[in-house]
Amino acid sequence: MAAIAASGCTQGDTRDGDDFQGTCPAWVEGLSSSIYHAEFHPDSTDDDKNDTFGGGGARWFKDHPLDILSLSFYPTDEGGTQGLYVQDGVLTATFSRADTGEPLAAYDIASGPRGPGNPGQSVWTFQPKDEMYANFTLQIDLSDPGEEANPGPVRVDWHFERDLDGDPDTPSAALVLYTTNFWYRTCE
Asked if residue 122 is part of any domain, the answer here is yes
pLDDT value of position 8: 33
- Its pTM stands at 0.84
76-80, 128-132, 150-154, range with the lowest pLDDT: 76-80
CA distance from start to end of the chain: 20
pLDDT value of position 146: 81
pLDDT band at 22 (very low <50, low <70, confident <90, very high): low
Asked if residue 17 is part of any domain, the answer here is no
Asked if residue 23 is part of any domain, the answer here is no
pLDDT at 48 over 90: yes
For 83-131, the pLDDT digits (tens) are 999 999 999 999 999 999 999 999 999 998 888 888 999 999 999 999 9
Asked if residue 134 is part of any domain, the answer here is yes
At 126, the amino acid letter reads F
The CA–CA distances, whole Å, from 72 to 41, 69, 77, 184 equal 23, 10, 11, 17
Q: Give dist(CA 167, CA 169) in Å, integer.
A: 5
pLDDT band at 76 (very low <50, low <70, confident <90, very high): confident
Asked if residue 7 is part of any domain, the answer here is no
Q: State the chain's mean pLDDT as an integer.
A: 87
At 139, the amino acid letter reads Q
Which residues form the domain of 79? Answer: 34-182
What is the mean predicted confidence (pLDDT) over 149-160? 96
Indicate the number of domains in the chain: 1
The CA–CA distances, whole Å, from 141 to 38, 127, 135 equal 24, 25, 20
Q: Cα 13 from chain centroid?
A: 16
pLDDT value of position 13: 42
Q: Give dist(CA 54, CA 65) in Å, integer.
A: 10
pLDDT value of position 23: 53
pLDDT value of position 80: 85
Asked if residue 12 is part of any domain, the answer here is no
Query: What does the angle CA 177 – CA 75 – CA 88 come to, to the nearest 5 degrees?
Result: 45
- Percent helix, strand, coil in the chain, to 5, is 5, 50, 45
Look up the CATH number of the domain holding residue 103.
Answer: 2.60.120
Closest CA to 49 of 156, 134, 140: 156
Asked if residues 72 and 17 have their Cβ atoms less than 8 Å apart, the reply is yes
pLDDT at 53 over 70: yes
